[in-house]
Copies of this chain bind each other. A is one copy, B any other.
Amino acid sequence: MGADPSLFVFGHLATPEHLAGEARRHLAGLYHGGRIEPRDPQPGQPVGVLVEVGSDAAVDRVWVRYALDGTAPDRTAPIAEARRVETRWDDLAWAYVDRWLAELPAQPEGTAVRYLVYGRKDGSAETMAADGAPGRDPELFGFGVDRLSSPCWVEDAVIYQIFVDRFWDDRSDFGRPLTRGDEVYGGSLDGVRERLGYLSELGITALWLTPIFAAETYHRYDALDYERVDEQLGGNEALASLVRAAHGRGIRILLDLAASHCSWHHPWFVDAQRNPNSQYRSWFTFRRWPDTYATFFGVPLLPKINTHNPEVAEYFSGMASRYLTEVGVDGFRLDHAIGPPLVFWSAFRTATKATRADSYTVGEVTLGPGGLRQFEGRLDGCLDFPLLQAFRRFFVHGGMDAQAFHSFLAHQERFYQPGFTHPSFLDNHDMDRFLWAAEGDVRKLELAAACQFSLPQPPIIYYGTEVGLSQKVGAGSPFGFEACRLPMLWEGQQDRELLAFYRTLIDTRKRHPALRRGSRHLLRAEGGVYAYTCRTDDDQVTVALNNSAERQAVSLPGVDGTDVLSGASVRGAVSLAPLQAAMIT
């Protein structure tokens, strides 16, 4: 699979070798992985806890010890015995696998269930805990019994991702790097505020700001202080002003929170390394104190925060809640959400929702759909990386025809539970921009965007994509993060036609509930031609995409209206130029 450029999203995570390694690693012991049934327990529902055990680690008894007050269960806590429900053979793990199921009793609304999973080795008194790493405490699992879901405003949102350093500052020379080699461009929160008019006119209803907390680098995914907005961006005041001004225009603000790691110069880590009795020592994972510690992907500058520590979980829940109430932000995009355990997010979401019921939590989860679904009931949603991959495969790289692409979308609509959001995007700050990948062919971007804006999940636009921002020539190979983070184009630099196209898409999406919450009905999916109707009881929009190099006549029986993208009237059929989209209302 390595040769397939569309796999850039998942890299080695999607390789058979990696999957086999994971399967073997999991099944060498007890594996739970947080899998419960139902995935998002409601008040009054018993909850099944699924445990798998590979035959190399056979057990003759499995049980779950649980507590109902949000703390880890102790030895006096009640237990639920599991029963073996299946013995299967797993080719990938090359082992027999037993599936055990324990049932936890139904609980009233608001219960924070926490539990540990244990097994007893066959023929011995030895017990082992599920998912536990050697030398670590047993892994704590948990879920909230609640009726929480993604807030209503998200369903209608059009989200705009701003890489703050690269967006705007009111300097005459913005667009050129300021300092530190080519790295700092000096974009600021005041700059964002000054451009709210532009965003508002475009039709944006929510901004996702890349991290704004005090940090060492221009990207700020290495926080020095989560309590303080970076002075270079304008500090706390600038954020408060931006939030007020954005809200005045009906635009929500999402902050980007990296809770899985921070800077090695963060005072917590400095103290933890210097002081053997530091209260922060347990906030990190020292394999050998003070110099050997868990890091984010092996980078010593980025120590991993020990999000298994309840104090840490409490800190982040509290910190996020303060931004919600004191600053008035509307939610969080959660960086590297697969870093912390699921129970961390469960607690985080419960706390932030208690603070502001209409706040939004969306995770960056770079896994396949099976991985995303694990976050159901734990977060309001996950960024839709699998869809991103499908977009790239169908519209850019090949490897999916219209039939396969349609099928992917149709399956995805059935796969996730209603209320779990998975916002769509064509690119972000960690990958080659779509337009670059499409070799600058704006028609391909328009085609993909037309599709993106007709799907039921909230679309995200990465800053600049709507005005033709691409990458430096020659900067794309091999991929470097700088390549896709060029400064925003303004005024005369912008592709006005493309911008007008995006405005039309957003405007049409706002006027037509069928695009936001309709059901989709296939008209044609063949080769490069993909056509469907989005429908609610009293609204209907038909989308026809010609993802091919030839003109295509697409018959659209019963469709009678205007293609908002070309202005042409359509009656029962449309003739599409190569890479042309039609959106008929």
Q: Which residues on A are within 8 Å of B, measured CB to CB?
A: 1, 14-17, 19-20, 55-58, 87-89, 91-92, 94, 96, 98, 121-124, 368-370, 373, 400, 403-404, 406-408, 410-412, 414-415, 522-526
Question: CA of A490 to CA of B523 in the docked complex: distance in angstroms?
Answer: 77
Contact B55–A404 (Cβ < 8 Å) = yes
Nearest CB of chain B from residue A349's CB, rounded to whole Å: 23
Complex Cα distance, B23 from A14, in Å, reads: 14
Q: Using Cβ atoms and an 8 Å threshold, which residues of chain B touch A14?
A: 91, 94
With A and B bound together, what is the CA distance between A32 and B253 in angstroms? 50
* Among B96, B406, B414, contact of A408 (Cβ-Cβ < 8 Å): B96
Kindly list chain B residues whose C-beta atoms are within 8 Å of the C-beta of A525. 122-123
Find out whether the CB atom of B16 lies under 8 angstroms from the CB atom of A406.
no
- Measured between beta carbons, the chain B residues less than 8 angstroms from A121 are 403
B19 touches A415 (CB 8 A): no
Contact of B94 with A1 in the complex, beta carbons under 8 Å: yes
Nearest 4 interchain pairs by C-beta: A58-B407, A96-B411, A16-B16, A16-B20
Check if A526 sits within 8 Å of B368, measured CB to CB: no
Copies of this chain, whole number: 2
Q: Knowing A55-B407, A407-B57, A410-B58, say if A91 contacts B122 (CB, 8 Å).
A: no
What are 8 inter-chain pairs, A to B, with CB distance below 8 A? A55-B408, A55-B411, A57-B404, A58-B407, A88-B370, A122-B410, A123-B522, A123-B524
CB distance from A472 to the nearest CB of B (A): 32
Contacts of A19 in B (CB 8 A): 16, 20, 91-92
Once bound together, how far apart are the Cα atoms of A96 and B406, in whole Å? 12
* Contact of A411 with B370 in the complex, beta carbons under 8 Å: no
C-alpha spacing A183/B373, complex, angstroms: 60
Known interface pairs A19-B91, A96-B411, A123-B524; A56-B400 also in contact (CB < 8 Å): yes
Instruction: Report Cα–Cα, A96/B17, bound state, in Å.
Output: 20
Q: A14-B94, A415-B96 are in contact. Are A406 and B58 (CB under 8 A)?
A: yes
Q: Which of B15, B92, B123, B411 contacts A98 (CB 8 A)?
A: B411
- What CA separation (Å) do A524 and B123 show in the bound complex? 7
Please tell me which one of the listed residues B89, B404, B411, B526 contacts residue A415 in the complex, with CB atoms under 8 A apart. Answer: B89
Bound CA–CA A96/B368 (angstroms): 10
Q: Which residues of B contact A412 (CB under 8 A)?
A: 96
Q: Are A56 and B404 also in contact (CB < 8 A) when A91-B368, A122-B525, A370-B91 are?
A: yes
Chain B residues within an 8 Å CB radius of A370: 88-89, 91
A400 to chain B, nearest CB (A): 7
With CB as the reference atom, state the residue of chain B lying closest to A10: B94
State the Cβ distance, A332 to closest chain B Cβ, in Å. Answer: 26
Cα–Cα, bound, A87→B568 (Å): 40
Residues of B within 8 A of A369 (CB): 89, 96
Measured CB to CB, the closest approach of chain B to A366, in angstroms, equals: 13
- A187 to B419: give the CA distance in the assembly, Å: 74
Return chain B residues, CB-CB under 8 Å to A16: 15-17, 19-20, 92
Contacts of A415 in B (CB 8 A): 87, 89, 96
Given A94-B1, A124-B526, A525-B122, CB of A89 within 8 Å of CB of B56: no
The CA of A460 and the CA of B297, in the complex, are separated in Å by 52
- In the assembled complex, how far is the CB of residue A585 from the closest CB belonging to chain B, in whole angstroms? 22
A369 to B55, CA, bound (A): 13
Which residue of chain B is the closest to A96 with respect to CB atoms?
Answer: B411
**Whole-angstrom distance between the alpha carbons of A91 and B1 in the complex?**
12
Contacts of A92 on B, CB cut-off 8 Å?
16, 19, 92
Which B residues lie within 8 Å of A403 (CB)? 56, 58, 121-123
Instruction: Report chain B residues within 8 Å CB of A368.
Output: 89, 91, 94
Complex Cα distance A380/B213, Å? 69
Which B residues are CB-close (under 8 A) to A94?
A: 1, 14, 368
On whether A407 and B122 interact (CB within 8 A), knowing A96-B412, A96-B415, the answer reads yes
Find out whether the CB atom of A411 lies under 8 angstroms from the CB atom of B58. yes
CB of B406 within 8 A of CB of A122, answer yes
Q: A58-B406, A122-B406 are in contact. List 7 more A-B contacts (CB 8 A).
A: A1-B94, A14-B94, A56-B407, A58-B411, A96-B411, A96-B415, A122-B407
Residues of B close to A124: CB separation below 8 A: 526
Q: Cβ of A523: which chain B residues have Cβ within 8 Å of it?
A: 123
Greatest chain B CB density within 10 A among A98, A410, A411 is at A411
Residue of B nearest to A13 (CB): B91
A543 to chain B: closest CB distance in Å?
14
Cα A400 to Cα B522 with chains together (Å): 53
Which B residues lie within 8 Å of A1 (CB)?
A: 20, 94
A15 to B20, CA, bound (A): 9
Bound Cα distance A414, B86 (Å) = 10
- List the B side residues contacting A522 at CB < 8 Å: 122-123
